[in-house]
Structure 1
Amino acid sequence: MRNPLFSVDTPRASAPVETPSEFGRELRAGLSRPVRSISPKFFYDVAGSQLFDRICDLPEYYPTRTELQILTANAPEIARYVGARAEVVEFGAGSLTKVRLLLDALEAPRRYLPIDISGEHLEAAAQRLRADYPGLAVQPIVADYTMPLVLSAPGDDAGGRMGFFPGSTLGNFSPPEALSFLQSAARLLRGGGLLLGVDLVKDPALLHAAYNDAQGVTAAFNLNLLRRANAELDTDFDLDGFTHAAFYNAPLQRIEMHLVSRRAQTVTLYGERFALAEGETIHTENSHKFTVEGLRELAVKAGFVPTAVWTDPARLFSVHWLRAPAAQ
């Protein structure tokens, strides 16, 4: 989709001065671009996190169940690569569902550090995990994992530090962002490794169905970003004035999600008015798809040593163990 030229009305002098939040700053910047956009990390307030949990259970959405099948079938072998007394760091932890398969298979894991931007959702999930794993130190970190991270040193008897990044969330980054994230992860995980799940290139019809489910949950998830803006930033998005659109961009090997303006309309944020034409979109997410060989090449560029890779029989999804060499 191509957006027409944007326009921004000059704010009136009497508009109140407000201190923008990170969400507000990035939304204002995104609405000011010729191609409107906003980072998908802002999907995940409490309501958005709950909607995403529902997406993961949809019949059309194969990534979650396929990755779970791969982890379940290969957990003992994965545990051998990770080693004993590991410290597990999960990036974008969400509901802490998949990590349970690893914790059950790992030999005496010492500490689990789930990192997520949605603090309330993360703490609730961490409390449930503590109840089920009373001998495990569960220390949630409310943070944007795409930013530089500093973690406390592992305990004296801890083994290697294992990163866990499931769900093909790496695909939400642009290629330069994906490389930058992996480079940071390689430094953070020195002497250990990263268990990474990524979605694979496949029949576009399967991809289209996964992001356009019959129940409309993905559409509600996409539109919830506007509801969140209205609640937190006092914007005046008319949710009935937008519709969800998702399609596979084959040349770029990515699903794109957009919110399409149904009519010409104006949205106000921090006293600025942003005019959207009928058919203009706000680009909310990319989900890049990978080949096994392409992912391994990217990992090498980032400083990892690719070792094992596991896929399902239909090669819909893949899980990779990327060793992070110790500092020289």
Structure 2
Amino acid sequence: MSPVGPRHIPVLGREAVEMLSPREGGIYVDATFGAGGYTRAILSVQGTRVIGIDRDRAAIAAGFDLVHSSAGRLTLVEDRFSNLAGICSAQDIKGVDGIVMDIGVSSMQLDEPERGFSFRLGGPLDMRMSHVGPTAADVIAKASEADLANIIYIFSEERHSRAVARAIAAARKQAPILTTRALADIVAKVVRSKPGEIHPATRTFQALRIFVNQELDELHLALSAAEQVLKPGGRLAVVSFHSLEDRIVKNFLVERAKSGGGSRHLPELAHAPPSFRILTSRPLTPGASEISANPRARSAKLRVAERTDAPAHPAATLPGWPTLDNVMRGG
């Protein structure tokens, strides 16, 4: 019998779960539990077990009914998904059959004004997924103008990042910037948009959210962790929503799927055996009906790969972009 609970269909949910191909007796990780849409679909296959991970305490609390209805087949863990290898070890799980990740902010978080993710809903300038650590308002108050420009450019590719940073630095001298609307109004004065284009503050809000939650570092670490815990034949399905995330996923899988040694120019260079086999030569994207029903799906991309029996590659060094700790220390 399928678990009971409110119906939630995540973006590209059917495609992601079909590619995971859950089977009876399999163990799966829903690394970004959210409203539990992927988990429900996996648990609908008899005899499956799911470890659901989310750093948002509200998401974990909302999933308790699903835990109860799953009759012991679902375990929820409040943690960052970059820690999924340690989480599996703590559950005495030696290897898993599939992992699904849905990267970025959830619809639930966007639709709660008090969380401060959306400029369309007035609220405090918070943006924290886990309710701990510095808020977006703290970053706005503490970061230097140069750091703000770097953060906004690197994490959203906003072409007007320097102008936005100057405007924020000038405005905060007059009064603290504490609300989403206050920040959106500041950005809108220096970034112009035409009718039909995205709101001028969209990229700045994206950059701050990614930075506050260290989302891209988390993604790098989570992909390496998935490589460690997947069994041979286990599958990794990742849904991303903007080019920065998708680029990280694509580059990780391409690097891990490389085979053979060096070239005639660098014959001494040898690659480790491929640890993944890519199953989506091109990313899967939502159809017109899904985009019509959920406009937030329009930029989604799904990439899927299957683990080989080769050892996991050494974890890559994180990129040298600004870090939350350094910026808050003034370093």
Superposition TM-score, scaled by structure 2 size: 0.42
TM-score by length of 1: 0.42
Which structure is richer in relative contact order (CA contacts within 8 A, separation 6 or more)? 1
Which protein has the bigger strand share? 1
Please state which structure has a larger fraction of its residues in helix.
Answer: 2
